[in-house]
Each structure stands twice: as C-alpha cells, then as structure tokens.
Structure 1
Amino acid sequence: MPYSPKHKEQTRQRILQAAAKLFCSKGFDRVTLNQIMKQANMTHGAFYAHFSGKSSLYEAALKFATAKGFWARAAKQTEDKETHLKALITRYLSWSDPNPDSPSPLEFLVTDAAHQDETVRQTYQECFDSLVDRLANILEKRGVKHAKCLAEETVVSLVGTVSIARSVTQPLRQDFIKRAQGRILTRLNQGLACRTMVGDVT
C-alpha cells in the first residue's frame, strides 16, 4: 500500500529539519547524507524519494531554516507589535546555544559562501539576501532612512562576528561577542537617529 501524500510530506519535513540543523551547525562539506538520515531517524533509502542529491537537499534545507527562523517570525509581526531590534541581534549572536527547532542560516556557514558547488553558493546568497530584506523591512517600518544599506551592513557584521568568534577561546569569546553586539546596536541607533525622533533601539 503506497504512502499517503500527508505521510510523504511529513517524511520530507523530518529530513529537512534534520538537514537544516546539521548544515547550519557544520556547513555543507562536514555533513553526510548518512548523518542527516540518522538525525531524522530514517533509513538512507528514504532520502532519494524526496531529493536528487546533497546539493538539492542543502538548497531546500536552508530555505526551510530561513522560513522557520526567528527573524522570519519577527518580520511577520504586526505594526502594533513592533519588533525589538536588540532581541533580534542578541538572538543571532547567541550561536553557542542555538535553538534546535529553529536553526539560523549563516550562523556557521561563512565558508559555504565561497563553495565550488554553484548550488551551494547560490543558496547561501539567497539566504543572505533574505535576511537582509527581512531586516530592511523591519527598519523601514520604523522609519529608518536607507534601511537596505543599514540592514546589509548589520547582517555582514553579524556573520563576521560569529565567524571570528568561533576561533576565539573562552572566556574571551563572550567578551568579544558582547563588544561586537554593542558596536552593532550603536550603529543601528545611529540609523534610527536619522529618522523622525521616535525613541531608541529596545
């Protein structure tokens, strides 16, 4: 008896969630299909019923993670429930204890940006652009001028901070992240100051 469409979709979602968690924590090259299927608690044979290969899974998994991530949920908040930018920045920099149900793309994937596989590079770029666009949308709603430029600058700073922090030993790592967070929030405050005076980053 063939599986129902609902069962097939549930299976695909399990694979995507497992792949997103592993890809977002280790990057493309350090993850195998066997590891992903083991994480999903499924047999290796089930993989090819849903994906043609590792690159196609990477593309689907990062888009899945981007759609499910904290910033995506924040971007959907209504006007009368204004997003707290400080919480967004803090969440992104809290990479040492990520939420396994909501992995954040780009947290650990700096090396994937220059990957030889075109699908991997293109997927990374799309995720980067998506984060920039979502932050720009939040800033635009708060009346920030040149929101896209400030959003891009902020995401670049966040990715760079996380990348460098990985090579910094404790307890220097937390101090490094705290200083970087202060600089990023200060820059956002400066951007907010260019609009009509409506308070501070909270």
Structure 2
Amino acid sequence: MPYSPQHKEQSRQKILQAAAKLFCAHGFDRVTLNQIMKKANLTHGAFYGHFSGKSALYEAALKFATDQGFWARSEKQTEAKPSHLKALVARYLSWSEPNPKLPSPLEFLVTDAAHQDEKVRQTYQECFDSLVDRLAAILDKRGVKQARSLSEETVVSLVGTVSIARSITQPLRADFVERAKQRILSRIQQGLTQDTANP
C-alpha cells in the first residue's frame, strides 16, 4: 500500500531537520547518510524516495536551516525597536556554544565554503547571500544608506566569531564572544549614526 502525500512530506521534513542539524554542526564531509537517517528515525532506503544524493540533501537542508533561522522568523520585525538588532546579533553568537539548539548554517566556513563539490559551494554561497540580504533589509528600513555593505561586514564578523569561538575553551570563549559582540554592535551603531547624521 503506497504512502499518502502527507506521510511522504512528514518523512521529508524529518530528513531535512536531521540533516540540517548534523550538517550545521559538523559540515558536509563529516556527516554520512546513515547518520542522517538514523537521527531522522527512518530507514536508509527511504532516503532516495526524497533526494537524489547527499549534495541534493545538503542544498535542501541548508535552505531549510536558513528558513528556520532567527532572522527568517523575524522578518515582520524589521522596523522594530532599536533592541531588535542587538537581539539578532546576540542570537547568532549564541551558536558559539558547543550544543546550540539551532546551529548556524554558516559555522563550517572553512570546510564547506572551499569544498570541491560545486553544488556544495553554490549552496553555501546562497545561504550566505540570504543572511546578508535579510540583515540588509533590516538596516535599509532603519535608514542605513550602505546597508548591503554593512550587512555583509556584519555577517562575516558573526560567522568568523562563531567559527573561532567553537575552538576556544571555556572560560576564554565567553570573553572572546562578548568582546566580538561589543565590536559588532558598535560598528552597526556607527553605521546607523553616520547615516542619520548625513541624510
């Protein structure tokens, strides 16, 4: 008896959730399809009913992770209070902890950004561009003229901070992340102030 469309979609969502968590935590090379299917609580044979291979799953999983991320959920708040940008930065930097609830899709910068598989590199680029675009939209609504440039600078700083922080032991990690957070927020504030002062 064939599965219903609802059952198939539920299985696909389970695979995406498991893959997003594992890929975001460990990168493309260190995750196997067996690990993903085990985490999804599904048989290995069920995988090919949804995806053609690991690269196709990686692409879908990173887009899923980005769409489920804090910035994506916050699109309706882009004209919100000044504390909103601080909350976004703090939330991203919380991914520096060893077992974050929702890992950063860009944390594995070194391993996956330079991956030999063209599809993997392209997916990473799309994920990066998506985060930059979303932050740029927030900054643009706050009146920042160079919103795209400041957004790109901010995302690069956030990704770099999280990537490095994950290799630093506690309690040094907390101090490192806090200093980085203050620098990033100061740079954002500087951009907001400059554009307000020079309309």
Aligned residues: 195
- The answer (yes or no) to whether the contact 2:78–2:138 under 8 Å persists in 1 is no
Q: Which residue in 2 is equivalent to 1:118?
A: 118
* Matched letter for residue 187 of structure 1: R
- The answer (yes or no) to whether the contact 2:79–2:142 under 8 Å persists in 1 is no
Q: Which residue in 1 is equivalent to 2:25?
A: 25
CA offsets 1:115-172 (integer angstroms, 9 cap, x no match): 0011110000000000000000000011111000000000001111111112222111
| 3-state SS, counterpart of residue 149 of structure 1 | helix
Q: Which residue in 2 is equivalent to 1:72?
A: 72
Q: Mapping of 1:1-202 within 5 angstroms?
A: 1-77=1-77, 79=79, 84-95=84-95, 96=97, 97-99=99-101, 102-196=102-196
| 3-state SS, counterpart of residue 168 of structure 1 | coil
Is 81-90 or 177-186 further displaced after alignment?
A: 81-90
Counterpart-to-counterpart distance in 1, 2:109 and 2:44: 25
Q: CA RMSD in A?
A: 1.6
TM-score, L = length of structure 2: 0.93
- The answer (yes or no) to whether the contact 2:51–2:57 under 8 Å persists in 1 is yes
CA offsets 1:17-57 (integer angstroms, 9 cap, x no match): 00000000110011000000010001000000000110000
TM-score, L = length of structure 1: 0.91
Counterpart-to-counterpart distance in 2, 1:44 and 1:91: 34
Name stretches of at least 5 consecutive residues in structure 2 with no aligned partner: none
Counterpart-to-counterpart distance in 1, 2:78 and 2:132: 19
Name stretches of at least 5 consecutive residues in structure 1 with no aligned partner: 198-202
Is 78-87 or 18-27 further displaced after alignment?
A: 78-87
| 3-state SS, counterpart of residue 195 of structure 1 | helix
Question: 1:83 and 1:37, CA in 2 relative to 1: closer, same or farther beyond 3 A?
Answer: farther
Counterpart-to-counterpart distance in 2, 1:64 and 1:16: 7
- The answer (yes or no) to whether the contact 1:24–1:109 under 8 Å persists in 2 is no
CA offsets 1:53-80 (integer angstroms, 9 cap, x no match): 1000000000011111111111233646
Q: CA deviation at 1:82?
A: 7.1
